[in-house]
Structures are given as C-alpha cells and as structure tokens.
Amino acid sequence: MFDDVRNFVHPLRFDPMASPFCRLVTSVTQDVHCTQKYNKDCSEAAVEMLQPIIDESEEITASLRCRHPADITPPTTEAPEAAANEDEEPASAPSARRISSDAVVTTSSSTTATPTTRRTIGPVIQITSIAPDHDSTTAIPIAPENAGRELKINMSDAVNSLYYIYDICSSNYSKSPYATVAAKICARQDEIAKQSDCYQNVLEKEKCAMRDAKTECEALEAFNANLDCAIVTMNDLCEVEAQNTVIEIQEGINDIIIERKCFEAKEKAVATIVKNEDPDEFHLDTKMPHCTEDQ
C-alpha cells in the first residue's frame, strides 16, 4: 500500500537552518499528510494508522519549536523540460538538483528574517552593540550555512536564550560578546530544547534584571547572573531534569569565567580607578553622583 503511494510526487518543504531532528520530524509529518491525500488503494486499517502518526509528529515539532511547513518557502522545482530530459542526459541531472538545493537555502535565509506567528513567547530583542573581534584563543567557529544570519536574540536574558536555542545556534554569533556562551549552550541544543515548556512557564513568571555586555567576560557573568535569578522560579515550575540541565550549564560557564580570569581582570580595573583618584578622598562604590558643595 505505502509503496504504491510512494509513486506520487511529494513536494516536501525543509528549513535548511533547522536541526536534523526538526527536519526529520517535519518531513515525516508532510509525508504522512501526502499519504492521506493519495490513499485511493489503501485499506481502511492502513488509513486509520496515519492520523495518530500525524498527531504525534506535530506534537514533537511543537515541543521543539520547529518551523511549521506552512511557514517555509517551498523549494524551487525543475522546469518540466528538464524533468523530461532527465533520462536522456543523466550527467546533467545531478547538477540540476544541486542548483535546486542551493535555491532552497537562499530562499530560506531570506525569509527567516521575518518572524513567524508561531513562535512569539519570550522577549526577543535585537542586539545592537557588537563587541570588538575576540582574541584568537576565544574565536568561535561558525558553520558556513549560518554565516549570513545575524544573531537577533538578546542573550542577556538567559531563559529566553534557552527557549530560542535553535534560533541562536542557526545564527552567526561569532562577533557577539556572547559567542562563548552561545557555543556552550549550542553543544547541548537538542537536550535544552526538550525542556521548552519549562522555559515558557518561567518566561511568563520571572522578571530578572538583564545586564548589557560589551566584552566576553561581561557576557559570561551577565548570562549566569540572570540565570541565578531565574533558577528560583524554575524550582517551582520545572522538572528536576530541566533544573539539572540549567545548573550544569551554569557550572560550565563558571569554569570558563575562571579559565578566562574574568575576576582578576575586574579587580585590576577597579584597582586602577582607585589608584588614579585622590588618595585622601573617602571612596564608596556608589552609582549615585557626588553631592555638590551647596547640597
């Protein structure tokens, strides 16, 4: 039965920037939808199997926040003349398919700049300040297909970053001060994405302060400080597995802070400021301006 349906052309839509798991589940959903449409020679028992598969796959794509096929621009197809000549010119056929594949990537990249209506949870803020180039020891490699996608998630909001993990990992974050943080969490992106319900609930409840960051050390400390605040809410709303994942991420970032000697650099900066000031003046670490003589 399924072999017969396979003879039909299934126009599948893929997001080339999505994770392999998202592409797999999305293709299954579309394939089964197509099978439902062309079920002329299928038995009733076979047709009854299809809807549960669709329901399950759509639930998975929703939990992982994969882009819905309706939001993906359909791939360009070969002209009828090219398809007709495929048997006559087998050598040129692979080339035609490669061109079609490239067209899909280009189209998808241009459309992802426009946000869809299916992923609106969490404050998405475009980062406007770009830090200077990092040292060679902290350079973060970026996949070639992500080179043109600017990072638009404000990573000073740690929970929001975890919720939009796939958006971050499919962006070019190499010039962001949060590049090291992004590389750290992207190494566990599928594991993090499984807890999306937790992050959504926390985003609706917690109101944690966010810090601006212009350097790598500032970004590392800002991310962990925001996560410290959010963990209090997570303890009430999230499962133990989600809490453990976040704690492990925090510990990993703390290790990087120690490795980069961020605390030492901060202490040196404070010491330099104190040294340049009047030694006879009493100093307080305050954010308020000094009183005037009239006051």
pLDDT tens for residues 112-158?
A: 444 433 333 444 333 333 444 444 334 455 555 445 567 888 899 99
Burial-class residue 11 by CB neighbours within 10 Å (0-12, 13-18, 19+). Answer: exposed
Q: From CA 67, how far away is CA 26, in angstroms rounded?
A: 8
> Which of residues 164 and 276 earns the better pLDDT score?
164
Report whether pLDDT(108) > 50: no
> Residue 66's CB: how many other CB atoms inside 10 A?
27
Q: From CA 213, how far away is CA 148, in angstroms rounded?
A: 23
Q: From CA 271, how far away is CA 269, in angstroms rounded?
A: 5
pLDDT tens for residues 222-232?
A: 999 999 999 99
pTM to 2 decimals?
A: 0.48
> Contact at 8 Å (CB) between 148 and 107?
no
Tell how many helices (H) and how many strands (E) occur in the chain.
13, 0
